[in-house]
Structure 1
Amino acid sequence: MEVPIVANIAIWRLPPGARAKPQPIVLDPAPTSLDEASRALPQGAYTTLRTFGGAAVLRLDEHLARLEETARLSGVEVYLDWPTIRSALREAITTFRAPEMRVRLTLDTTREPGTLYISLESLHSPTPEQYEHGVLVVTRQLQRQNPKAKSTTFLASAGEIRRALPEGCYEAIMVGADGQLLEGLSSNFFAIRGRDLWTAEEGVLAGITRALVLEEAADEGLTIHLEGLPVTELPTIDEAFITSSGRAVLPVVEIDGHPVGTREPGPITRRLLERYNARVSREAEML
């Protein structure tokens, strides 16, 4: 099947129902990113994952469950055919033929509820230098309207903030009305002080990568606080990092122009990255 691939992005439409077949589609104008593609598709739920070794993924069932849950939170009851989606995703990934891919699954909850869109682009992970030396982030006053729902309506406001980020800034960390650090625009945020780890639980979209990292942190013997650190306490932390499917565990060394610890990735962050990568090697499954 000849699939239109524009600017390293390809999109398939998968109708609801068992044994449905993915149909390639073309958007006009052609999107240059997955976020642009999502904004052009019908509004609904979305989830993002990546491939490992070109054809393996991590915890696909949890991603599909998240789509169904987000749809329910928006008042639409959808029961996806998981084996059909797995088969369609395998076909799309095989056709796209990139070394590694970023995958966006968008579930239509407005025009044709139950229709799923599979969008693929070549994966651009953080560079080895960013893992070695860390990245810079800023804080912004913002909070999701419905933190438990991963809805495409959030992508527009997130995109506006992202386009206005200072040069050299990697991510924006959202701060709630109570002054607590919540999450990144497309990541979860963690702060470390001593052997204590903070990450917000309420008011954030709890990512699947975040859950794995928390399990590894507990096994590492860290004391975990499921609450957002007050932004006023940022000068007291020793380490910080963000997580997402495409980033794994990415060290943060500067926030709002102020250094985090020694302005170098700390030992706990590095250890959690090692543990996460080992977990992926054990658990990533072929489609």
Structure 2
Amino acid sequence: MSRTVYVNGAFVPEEAATISVFDRGFLFADGVYEVTTVLGGRLIDFAGHMARLRRSLAELAMDAPADEAEILSIHRELVARNGIEEGMVYLQVTRGAADRDFAFPPAGTKPSLVLFTQEKAVSDNPAAEKGLTVVSVPDQRWARRDIKTVQLLYPSLAKMEAKARDADDAWMVENGLVTEGTSNNAWIILADGTIVTRPRSEAILHGITRSAVLRLAEEAGHRFVERPFSIEEAKGAAEAFITSASAFVMPVVRIDGAPVGAGVPGPLSRRLRQIYIEEARRTAI
């Protein structure tokens, strides 16, 4: 059955959706995006995603295509029209359509706004029971990874390298230290129970789920520290996991072929996933 999508002011069937060949998202990857999870037909961490969207737009001197209330209304309408109980709403904003030029378009050029849904099991994902395997790859992305741009070619290539190496995902490494996964933040848990994840900077995406997990871990009394770690330290950790809007908290059980801890999802990773899902259900809008 065809999905209903949203393109520049109109809800249309996906097969009828069009956008200009001169759109700068197509020509220059001149755009940003957000992905908001749907659980029980409601939106998770919507305010956090909108705050990050505003920041991304500001960092690129890009105009907002609509106010937050209108964007929320579009999300809810798409969820309702497509009958999404669990899944994602993808939003993309570009600088709009203009004749191809490296210089920005003339002032007043209207940004493009596109949204669509993806139905996906997120709360009962079977991967959470067996855990993920990851491999390490060099981080060859641009330096402003804190801006959630649509420049996703290298993460896509890294994901495909992971699949070619019979792994689920890749952790990217720069100057000997893990930055993040292809579409997620990376974490380890030390033998004494300390949770470790890289601090926010221009080197990583400021994950909305990451921030929520840090807050929930602190509220539950778990120790954590924000610092970089190496692949070798991760291999020797008691547990490892990733966080993202679509994965929530997902255990990692092997890194470059070496088991992490016992090689199965650990108790604290499992507990953090449970806490996050409970909080997400409670606060979804």
Asked if structure 2 preserves the Cα contact closer than 8 Å seen for 1:13 and 1:25, the reply is no
Q: 2:36 maps to which residue? A: 49
Q: Is 1:151 aligned to 2:145, yes or no?
A: no
Q: Is 1:13 aligned to 2:4, yes or no?
A: no
Q: Distance in 1 between matches of 2:16 and 2:7?
A: 15
Task: Report SS of the residue matched to 2:242.
Answer: strand
Q: 2:231 maps to which residue? A: 231
Q: Distance in 1 between matches of 2:50 and 2:58?
A: 13
Change (3 A) 1:222 1:75: same
The Cα of 1:27 is off from its aligned counterpart by 6.4
- Identity over aligned pairs, percent: 26
**Per-residue displacement from partner, 1:241-272 (whole Å, max 9, x unpaired)?**
01111111111000010100010111111111
The Cα of 1:276 is off from its aligned counterpart by 0.7
Change (3 A) 1:49 1:145: same
Asked if structure 1 preserves the Cα contact closer than 8 Å seen for 2:87 and 2:122, the reply is no
Q: 1:24 maps to which residue? A: 12
Q: 1:212 maps to which residue? A: 212
**Per-residue displacement from partner, 1:149-187 (whole Å, max 9, x unpaired)?**
00001x1222222223235421111112x2111111111
Task: Report SS of the residue matched to 1:195.
Answer: coil
Change (3 A) 1:49 1:191: same
Asked if structure 2 preserves the Cα contact closer than 8 Å seen for 1:131 and 1:250, the reply is yes
Asked if structure 2 preserves the Cα contact closer than 8 Å seen for 1:175 and 1:182, the reply is yes
The AA in structure 2 aligned to 1:13 is V
Asked if structure 2 preserves the Cα contact closer than 8 Å seen for 1:13 and 1:118, the reply is yes
Q: 1:91 maps to which residue? A: 77
Task: Report SS of the residue matched to 1:166.
Answer: helix
Q: Distance in 1 between matches of 2:223 and 2:142?
A: 27
**Per-residue displacement from partner, 1:100-136 (whole Å, max 9, x unpaired)?**
2211110112435433210212114486542122111
The Cα of 1:40 is off from its aligned counterpart by 9.2
The AA in structure 2 aligned to 1:12 is Y
Asked if structure 2 preserves the Cα contact closer than 8 Å seen for 1:100 and 1:122, the reply is yes
Matches within 5 A, 1:259-270: 259-270=259-270
The AA in structure 1 aligned to 2:40 is G
Task: Report SS of the residue matched to 1:189.
Answer: strand
Q: Distance in 1 between matches of 2:156 and 2:15?
A: 19
Task: Report SS of the residue matched to 2:183.
Answer: coil
Q: 1:247 maps to which residue? A: 247
Task: Report SS of the residue matched to 1:51.
Answer: strand
Change (3 A) 1:39 1:247: farther
Asked if structure 2 preserves the Cα contact closer than 8 Å seen for 1:58 and 1:280, the reply is yes
Task: Report SS of the residue matched to 1:164.
Answer: helix
The AA in structure 2 aligned to 1:57 is L
Change (3 A) 1:113 1:171: farther
Asked if structure 2 preserves the Cα contact closer than 8 Å seen for 1:27 and 1:40, the reply is no
**Per-residue displacement from partner, 1:192-222 (whole Å, max 9, x unpaired)?**
1022111112311021111111011112323
Task: Report SS of the residue matched to 1:165.
Answer: helix
Alignment RMSD (CA, Å): 2.6
Q: 2:67 maps to which residue? A: 81
Q: Distance in 2 between matches of 1:135 and 1:252?
A: 5
The AA in structure 2 aligned to 1:204 is I
The AA in structure 1 aligned to 2:244 is S
Asked if structure 2 preserves the Cα contact closer than 8 Å seen for 1:173 and 1:184, the reply is yes
Change (3 A) 1:126 1:253: farther
Q: 1:65 maps to which residue? A: 51
Gaps of at least 5 residues in structure 1 are 16-21, 31-37
Q: Distance in 2 between matches of 1:44 and 1:27?
A: 22
The AA in structure 2 aligned to 1:209 is T
**Per-residue displacement from partner, 1:67-110 (whole Å, max 9, x unpaired)?**
22112111224373111111122211111123322111101124
- More displaced 10-residue stretch of structure 1: 212-221 or 238-247: 212-221
Q: Is 1:191 aligned to 2:188, yes or no?
A: yes
The Cα of 1:25 is off from its aligned counterpart by 6.2
TM-score (norm 1): 0.82
Change (3 A) 1:223 1:274: same
